[in-house]
């Protein structure tokens, strides 16, 4: 019997992980990627002699990558090495206080004791509470596929849900635990990467800082672009085919069933199932014939809340900053503001924006010539739905941010820049095909989570699936790996039924 064939459209993290899992399940898999290399937002870039990660820099839960490779009978360590980072993040607050987050809980508590006597105990309580939340909540809310709202009404799960105090925001959750704004924002800043201010974000995401403290933050050697290449290599080793520079024009659908895809060249490729990893909001409107778009119209997306975008500086410099940690974040006092635009990134903060710098060269010298280094600077900015004219604004914004790098100890950067590349919201939209340039996808409000997020299984078309940051459980590599696991499971359930009915 010929093996059933699955086409994956897009080689972002979700597409790559799904392709590898499907190969592990014995399917014939072809992955079609529009860009000249795989990786999507993490495909990386080169400027002169310097190589940069373009998007993700924070790797959480390395065990998920081990499980991904193991699902295809492979050993992750044969493909890529992960290095733990300690401290995993250094924060500097508006009042110049520093805080090093590390998996060494005693070290964190030691720093907090200097802030207030009762904080170490409060951290212990919070940590113990999250060990329980992780044990009971990670499976049903992040790892399992979303169910209908009624599906969550099982007595044991109601108890679990209530332990998350879902009526609280992330800010309220941390404020109730610590009563110290610095610690509140130190632990809730990942909300930014879910597209929201902590005062708007769901408290369930307090699991993320716990996961970082419990399992660490890691760096894949060679960067996240090497991680993408490693998964691609595994796919090819198992006989999967990857076609780069191969944009898909449309999903080919007949009588409500997927038949394959049509390429930009006009060529049609048949498949038993199609998994689309291209950005959901973008792809549902461009790759789906209008009759199969279902409720996902312009009006639907206009009513939805999307994440911020990011202003990026990728700097190649002819010096090293070996005394500074890998991940650093400057939290300006603007993060304390509760008014627009500070709370929803609806206008550009040109005065005192929070920003993040990744300094990967000390743990991974592969990205720059000897004695040189690369710096990656990220500033949250409005998505393209809010009008910022980057043609006129980019240079002055770049200068503002460069002048603020000493706040994190990066002195004299301007004098040492040899190569640089700047991304704005327009770059993410135009060059990475990200709807509104909203790089963290649909925001993670309660109204846009679980069963209220677009589902993995298409609602209109049989054997068509969506994987990536827009579907349950959400944006970010960790959650996308969970989505990929569920996508592969749905494909095999549906394709085995197809065999039975033929």
- 371-410 residues near ligand FAD, rule: CB under 6 A: 378
* 361 interacts with ligand FAD by CB under 6 A: no
* Per-residue contact string for residues 233-272; x = within reach of ligand FAD by CB under 6 A: --------------xx------------------------
Are the C-beta atoms of 194 and 476 separated by less than 8 Å? Answer: yes
Q: How many residues bind ligand FAD (CB under 6 A)?
A: 39
Q: How far is the CB of 501 from ligand FAD (least distance, A)?
A: 30
Residue 30 and residue 17: Cα distance in Å, rounded?
13
Q: Encoding tokens for residue 85? A: 């980072």
Nearer to ligand FAD, 84 or 247 (CB): 247
Q: How far is the CB of 98 from ligand FAD (least distance, A)?
A: 21
* 231 interacts with ligand FAD by CB under 6 A: no
Q: What DSSP string runs through 258-285? A: EEEEEETTS-EEE-SEEEE-S-HHHHHH
Q: How far is the CB of 298 from ligand FAD (least distance, A)?
A: 18
Phi and psi of 307, rounded to 5°?
A: -70, 175
Q: What residues are paired with 98 via a beta bridge?
A: 92
Q: Encoding tokens for residue 15? A: 């597409």
Q: Name the strand (E) or helix (H) holding 6.
A: strand 5-9
Are the C-beta atoms of 417 and 315 separated by less than 8 Å? Answer: yes
Find the part of the chain contacting ligand FAD (CB under 6 A) among 44-52, 119-127, 474-482, 491-499. Answer: 474-482
* 429 interacts with ligand FAD by CB under 6 A: no
Q: Residues near 286 by Cβ (< 8 Å), separated by ≥ 6?
A: none
- 168-197 residues near ligand FAD, rule: CB under 6 A: 193
- 278-297 residues near ligand FAD, rule: CB under 6 A: 278-279, 283, 287
Give the distance, in angstroms, between the CA of residue 460 and the centroid of all CA atoms in the same chain.
27
Residue 31 and residue 392: Cα distance in Å, rounded?
39
Q: What residues are paired with 356 via a beta bridge?
A: 329, 378
Single out the residue of 24, 40, 195, 325 in contact with ligand FAD (rule: CB under 6 A).
Answer: 40
Q: How many CA atoms lie within 13 A of 255 on its CB side?
A: 0
Number of residues that this document lists for the chain: 502
* 454 interacts with ligand FAD by CB under 6 A: no
* Rounded (5°) CA angle 196-60-114: 75
Q: How far is the CB of 388 from ligand FAD (least distance, A)?
A: 17
Q: How far is the CB of 257 from ligand FAD (least distance, A)?
A: 20
Sheet holding 417-423, edge to edge: 98-101, 89-93, 327-331, 355-358, 373-381, 309-317, 417-423
Single out the residue of 34, 45, 67, 402 in contact with ligand FAD (rule: CB under 6 A).
Answer: 34
Q: How far is the CB of 466 from ligand FAD (least distance, A)?
A: 9
* Per-residue contact string for residues 2-21; x = within reach of ligand FAD by CB under 6 A: -------xxxxxxx------
* 74 interacts with ligand FAD by CB under 6 A: no
* 35 interacts with ligand FAD by CB under 6 A: yes
* 62 interacts with ligand FAD by CB under 6 A: no
Q: Which of 397, 450, 467, 356 is nearest to 146 (CA)?
A: 450
Query: Could you tell me where the beta strands, DSSP code E, fall in 355-494?
Result: 355-358, 373-381, 417-423, 464-466
Are the C-beta atoms of 26 and 3 separated by less than 8 Å? Answer: yes
Q: How far is the CB of 462 from ligand FAD (least distance, A)?
A: 21
Single out the residue of 4, 57, 71, 201 in contact with ligand FAD (rule: CB under 6 A).
Answer: 57
Q: How far is the CB of 55 from ligand FAD (least distance, A)?
A: 3
- 300-359 residues near ligand FAD, rule: CB under 6 A: 310, 312
* 439 interacts with ligand FAD by CB under 6 A: yes
* 468 interacts with ligand FAD by CB under 6 A: yes
Q: Residues near 297 by Cβ (< 8 Å), separated by ≥ 6?
A: 285
Single out the residue of 123, 375, 433, 488 in contact with ligand FAD (rule: CB under 6 A).
Answer: 433
Q: What residues are paired with 28 via a beta bridge?
A: 5
User: Which residues are at the interface with ligand FAD (CB under 6 A)?
Assistant: 9-15, 32-35, 40-42, 55-58, 193, 247-248, 277-279, 283, 287, 310, 312, 378, 433, 439-440, 468-469, 475-478, 480
């Amino acid at each position: 019997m010929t093996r059933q064939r699955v086409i994956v459209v897009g080689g972002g993290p979700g597409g790559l992980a799904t392709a590898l899992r499907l190969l592990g399940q014995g399917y014939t898999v072809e992955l079609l990627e529009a860009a000249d290399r795989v990786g999507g937002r993490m495909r990386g870039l080169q400027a002169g002699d310097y190589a940069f990660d373009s998007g993700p820099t924070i790797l959480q839960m390395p065990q998920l990558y081990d499980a991904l490779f193991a699902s295809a009978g492979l050993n992750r360590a044969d493909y890529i090495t992960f290095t733990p980072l300690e401290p995993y993040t250094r924060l500097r607050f508006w009042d110049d206080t520093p805080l090093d987050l590390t998996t060494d809980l005693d070290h964190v508590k030691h720093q907090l004791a200097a802030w207030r006597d009762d904080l170490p105990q409060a951290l212990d309580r919070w940590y113990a509470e999250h060990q329980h939340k992780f044990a009971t909540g990670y499976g049903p809310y992040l790892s399992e596929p979303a169910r209908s709202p009624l599906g969550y009404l099982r007595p044991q799960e109601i108890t679990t849900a209530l332990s998350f105090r879902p009526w609280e925001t992330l800010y309220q959750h941390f404020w109730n635990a610590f009563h110290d704004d610095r610690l509140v924002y130190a632990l809730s800043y990942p909300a930014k990467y879910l597209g929201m201010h902590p005062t708007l974000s769901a408290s369930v995401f307090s699991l993320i800082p716990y996961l970082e403290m419990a399992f660490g933050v890691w760096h894949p050697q060679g960067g996240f672009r090497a991680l993408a290449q490693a998964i691609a290599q595994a796919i090819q080793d198992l006989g999967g085919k990857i076609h780069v520079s191969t944009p898909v024009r449309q999903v080919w659908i007949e009588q409500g069933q997927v038949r394959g895809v049509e390429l930009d060249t006009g060529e049609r490729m048949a498949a038993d199932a199609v998994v689309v990893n291209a950005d959901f909001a973008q792809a549902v409107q461009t790759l789906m014939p209008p009759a199969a778009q279902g409720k996902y119209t312009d009006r639907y997306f206009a009513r939805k809340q999307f994440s911020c975008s990011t202003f990026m500086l990728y700097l190649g410099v002819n010096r090293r900053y070996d005394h500074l940690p890998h991940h650093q974040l400057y939290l300006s006092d603007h993060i304390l503001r509760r008014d627009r635009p500070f709370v929803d990134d609806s206008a550009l903060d040109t005065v005192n924006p929070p920003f993040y710098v990744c300094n990967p060269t000390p743990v991974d010298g592969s990205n720059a010539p000897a004695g040189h280094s690369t710096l990656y600077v990220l500033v949250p900015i409005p998505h393209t739905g809010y009008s910022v004219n980057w043609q006129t604004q980019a240079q002055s914004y770049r200068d503002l941010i460069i002048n603020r790098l000493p706040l994190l100890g990066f002195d004299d950067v301007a004098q040492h820049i040899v190569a640089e590349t700047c991304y704005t919201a327009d770059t993410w939209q135009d060059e990475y095909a990200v709807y509104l340039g909203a790089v963290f996808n649909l925001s993670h409000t309660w109204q846009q989570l679980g069963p209220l997020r677009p589902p993995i299984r298409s609602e209109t078309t049989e054997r068509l699936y969506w994987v990536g940051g827009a579907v349950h459980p959400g944006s970010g590599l960790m959650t996308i790996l969970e989505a990929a696991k569920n996508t592969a499971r749905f494909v095999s359930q549906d394709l085995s039924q197809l065999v039975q009915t033929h």
